[in-house]
Each structure stands twice: as structure tokens, then as C-alpha cells.
Amino acid sequence: MDYTARQYKLQINEYVDERLDLMRSTDAAARLLVDLHKQFDDWLLVLAAYNCGPGKVRKAIRRADCNNYWEIEQYLPRQTQGYILSFISAAYVVAYSERHGLKVNPHAVEELSVLKIRDSIHLQGVAQAANLSLHTMRRLNPGYQQEVIPASRRGNYLILRADSLPSVQAMLRKQKVAFNFIPFWNQEKPTKAIAYTLPSLKPLLSAPLDWRFPFHFQHQYTQNNMELFLNPLKFFSQMA
């Protein structure tokens, strides 16, 4: 995966691994998905290629002599077959949760704020200003290999809990650290806010959402996989 990461301009060195960076890895993944869709023009084939690589998908298409995912599925790695079924199952549960007695909590996602930092700064100092443990700060920013955000002309992203933003901004100004606020999350219009911050997501967010249903759930294996996915969700929703 290093080759693909570098192809999409993700840095990997002793200080950062941008494959783990929320902002840059999301941007790279979106650009990769758009590029794959230009190749395959079918979202199931795109997801398969995202998982196992476009070369294996093209090989499966040649072996099956068609480009219908369900026809080429048998020629793809087992991991990819499971990935597609799990993806569809998860998408189905989110889209039709009420039909199965599940309640989706729109406030379950932690509200985050994003800053772009251009100067070097230690995460420990940021954590203290945010009144968080270093462990939590590193969990929010797993792309940093060490306990420091390195200086960068293009800037490095700092992910914070939204309620800690004012105190961290005050600390950065006091230390004369150059930063910019990035409008990342809007509780009322999350899709619009994220697309504004990461324009690469716009083609994906505007893609039709009905391609998965109901046709694909006529597939026996998908129906079985969906039930496996639903049952534990029902259990945990009752426990919540």
C-alpha cells in the first residue's frame, strides 16, 4: 500500500504517516475512488478494486468475460468478497435501520475541530491546553509517529475535540505558532461542510445512493451476510 499512498501524495517518514491522517487519508481515498470509477464505471467494481487493487479486478473481468460484479466475484480474493458484502450490509443497515427496529443516534459522532499547523509543536503541550491526556490526543491524531507535529510549509492537520478549540487556539497564539482554522464539521449540514473542506469528496457525495438496493439484496449470499450483520446490531441496540 506504500506505493498507492505515495502516488496520492501521502508522506510516510519518521515523523508522519499520512495514511493515518484523518484529513489527508480521506482526501487521498476519495481521489483514488474517483480515479477507479473512471476506469470501471461501476461502484461495486470500484470498491473491489479499492480493496484488492485494479489489476486483480481486471484479471477477474477477463476470466469471467464480463464486467458484472456478481459474475466476477468468484475470481476475486475471499477477503474482497467479504469486504463487498460487509460494505453493502452496513450501507443497508444505515439506510433502512428503522425497518429492523434500530435507532441511529445522529449525535453519536464526536464533534471535532481541525487546525492546520505550520510550525513545530509538541502534542503534550496541545493536550495540556485541551485538558486531555496525551493518549487521547494521539488517538485523535494517529498520523504523527512521535509526540511532535513537525514544521511544514503546506501545514499539518491537528484534530481536536470541538470544545477544546478556544483554549488550544489561545495557547498557539501565545506561543506564536502559525495556524489556520479549517471548517470541518457542521452538525446540521455535515455533508456540505466536509465537501467544502475536502473538494475531492464532492463527486462521491453526489453519486446516486440507490445503486445498492433493492437488486443486490436478491443475491442469496448478500441476504445471508446482511442477517449476520443485523443480528449483533439488534443485540447491542437492546443493551444500549
Measured distance CA(93)–CA(112) in Å, rounded: 25
**HEC sequence for 148-180:** EECCCCCCEEEEEEHHHHHHHHHHHHHCCCCEE
Q: Where are the domains of the chain?
A: 25-105+216-239, 112-184
CA distances from 16 to 11, 42, 154, 200, 224 (A): 7, 34, 14, 22, 41
Q: pLDDT tens-digit profile of 181-213?
A: 887 654 444 444 455 555 655 665 555 544 444
pLDDT at 204: 56
Give the three cell numbers for residue 172. Answer: 498557539
Radius of gyration for the alpha carbons in the chain, expressed in angstroms and rounded: 21
Task: Tell me the per-residue pLDDT of 26-80, one tens digit each, with 9 for 90 and over.
Answer: 888 888 888 898 899 888 899 999 999 999 999 999 999 999 999 999 999 999 9
Q: How far apart are CA 104 and CA 101, in angstroms?
A: 10
Percentage of the chain surpassing pLDDT 70? 73
Q: Which residues contact 186 (CB under 8 A, 6 or more apart)?
A: 192, 193
pLDDT at 212: 42
What number is the average pLDDT over the span 137-144? Answer: 94
